[in-house]
Amino acid sequence: MDSTCDDIYRSAGLDLGLGLGNQTSKKHGQVAAVKFDLGFEPSLNLSLSSGDHQMVDLKTENKDQLSVASSYSNGSEKRERDIGSEVTEVERVISCRVSHDEDYYEDDDASNGKKKLRLTKVQSALLAESFKQQSTLNPKQKQHLARKLNVRPRQVEVWFQNRRARTKLKQTEVDCEFLKKCCETLTDENRKLYKELQELKALKVGQPLYMKLPAAATLTVCPSCERVGAGAAQNSAKSPHLYGSFTNPSAAC
DNA sequence: CGTTGGCCAACCATTACATCA
DNA sequence: AATGATGTAATGGTTGGCCAA
């Protein structure tokens, strides 16, 4: 007998309302991604998280029977009860793990696991939500989130790590674009200034500089290159480097 | 006190795999 | 069906902070 998680849920009387159907064909992993054979021995374990503190465990006692139990944990208090088919409002399926599935690996054999697990949309969404609040987690928060998502803490850790890296990369790209624009602007301004300088030089050749300046203009000397510049009152808005008064000693030409 | 070694968490570069066009 | 591009989970190495000896 070849059953999907959907089949199991249905046989357990669970109405998950989560659109698992499109995931049941996937080959392996978590969530309703696993096909399995109820005829195997000794047991099948499925874990479903629904909401923050509720865990639904499905177990096969034997190949024909499925027992369903839920456990609620609220802080340190934890209790369990049989729910049979009464669970009909499981809001979210975070994961569905089939321990016998050779494609799925637990902590111990994760190192030699050949396949990598894909996090579900729900899991990713929750992780992203957590990331929005804070981009790093302390061990306690990591544990809590891992429990909530029914994944290994290491997975949470890795996810945050990768997300930080991606965020940083994106920010770098944004910064790079900004700097590019700055560079373009400065290049443009530089070109204009150079043009202005050439025009002024041409004028200077034609007639003495003092003749071109209005009576009110003042001349100041650049402290670093000791060139003469005209007062700020005149043309500073147009070209501060060329015409501005050298009030700031560090503002060299 | 300063030094050293172990531990741990975070980061980084890279690999490996899944998915899609 | 094969393939290349892309996204992302996972790995291994490095670094820095903390703490005890």
A78 touches strand B (CB under 7 A): no
A173 pLDDT band (50/70/90 cuts)? confident
Whether omega before A42 lies within 30 degrees of 0, making that bond cis, reads yes
A185 touches strand B (CB under 7 A): no
Q: Please state the length of chain A.
A: 253
Which range has the top average pLDDT, A27-36, A116-125, A222-231, A241-250? A116-125
Of A40 and A157, the structure prediction assigns the larger pLDDT to: A157
A132 touches strand B (CB under 7 A): no
A115 touches strand B (CB under 7 A): yes
The nucleotide whose C1' lies nearest the CA of A113 is: C10
Of A251 and A162, the structure prediction assigns the larger pLDDT to: A162
Which residues of A spanning 93-132 put their CB closer than 7 angstroms to strand C?
110-111, 113, 116-119, 124
CATH tag for A119-206 (out of 3.30.930.10, 2.60.120.20, 1.10.287.130, 1.10.10.60):
1.10.10.60
**Rounded average pLDDT over A150-155:** 87
Lowest mean pLDDT: which of A147-156, A174-183, A199-208, A232-241? A232-241
Q: Dihedrals φ, ψ of A124, to 5°?
A: -60, -40
- CB A37 within 8 Å of CB A3: yes
A135 pLDDT band (50/70/90 cuts)? confident
Q: Which nucleotides of C are covered by protein (CB under 7 A)?
A: 8-12
The nucleotide whose C1' lies nearest the CA of A169 is: B12
Say if residue A136's pLDDT is above 60.
yes
- CB A45 within 8 Å of CB A39: no
The sign one gets for the Cα dihedral A27, A110, A8, A89 is: negative
Domain ranges of chain A: 2-115, 119-206, 207-253
Rounded to a whole number of angstroms, the CA Rg of chain A reads 35
Say if residue A148's pLDDT is above 50.
yes
Task: Give Cα separations from A162 to A19, A111, A174 (angstroms).
Answer: 28, 19, 18
Which range has the top average pLDDT, A15-24, A67-76, A167-176, A221-230? A167-176
Say if residue A179's pLDDT is above 60.
yes
d(CA A203, CA A207): 6
pLDDT of residue A175: 83
The nucleotide whose C1' lies nearest the CA of A105 is: C10
Of A142 and A44, the structure prediction assigns the larger pLDDT to: A142
Say if residue A55's pLDDT is above 80.
no
A56 closest CA partner among A124, A5, A104, A21 = A5
Which residues of A spanning 141-160 put their CB closer than 7 angstroms to strand C?
154-155, 158-159
Which range has the top average pLDDT, A100-109, A188-197, A211-220, A233-242? A188-197
pLDDT of residue A199: 94
pLDDT of residue A220: 52
A118 touches strand B (CB under 7 A): yes
Whether omega before A153 lies within 30 degrees of 0, making that bond cis, reads no
Q: Which nucleotides of B are covered by protein (CB under 7 A)?
A: 8-14, 16-19
**Rounded average pLDDT over A49-54:** 28
Of A195 and A74, the structure prediction assigns the larger pLDDT to: A195
Say if residue A16's pLDDT is above 50.
no
Say if residue A206's pLDDT is above 80.
no
A31 closest CA partner among A13, A63, A4 = A4
For residue A72, the surrounding DSSP H or E stretch is strand A65-74
**Rounded average pLDDT over A200-225:** 62
